[in-house]
């Protein structure tokens, strides 16, 4: 019985240790390479911010420009570098505060004005990190086609 107890403790300890190690993986270099490849493969004219976010402005827009504390309505499609879609809104978009979303959105949406559209290429450190979330694998680059409908 003691053997089973100690074996169970060892498995739990190793599992916790592996989870901790997985959450400490730095995907920065891999994400950068994946984003650069996606940009080249799709002939995009992307800008890179100091945080590592890449963005493409297709249409700057001409209305109000949000800041990190704004509430906005955005229509979007989210996908991975292999172009498989993991989420999207309808054409009317969804409304939310920019403090309630991933860092890549908080920063990226602010590059547009109302009526603007473009692409956000978000490294995992500005998305869901090394652990992932709800069907998004840890370390994943997230790409969003966005249309900023309004700053509310």
Give catalytic residues, as residue numbers. Answer: 76, 86-87, 102, 128, 144
User: Which tokens sit at 14?
Assistant: 């190793």
Beta bridge partners, 108, equal: none
């Amino acid at each position: 019985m003691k053997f089973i107890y100690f074996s169970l403790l060892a498995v739990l300890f190793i599992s916790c240790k592996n989870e901790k190690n997985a959450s400490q993986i730095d995907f920065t270099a891999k994400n950068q390479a994946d984003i650069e490849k996606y940009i080249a493969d799709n002939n995009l004219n992307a800008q890179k911010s100091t945080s590592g976010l890449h963005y493409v402005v297709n249409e700057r827009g001409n209305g109000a420009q949000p800041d990190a504390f704004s509430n906005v309505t955005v229509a979007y499609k989210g996908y991975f570098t292999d172009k498989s879609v993991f989420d999207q809104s309808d054409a009317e978009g969804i409304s939310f505060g920019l403090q309630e979303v991933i860092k890549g959105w908080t920063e990226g949406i602010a590059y547009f004005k109302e009526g603007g559209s473009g692409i956000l290429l978000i490294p995992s450190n500005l998305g869901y990190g090394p652990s992932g979330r709800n069907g998004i694998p840890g370390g994943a680059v997230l790409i969003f086609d966005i249309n900023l409908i309004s700053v509310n």
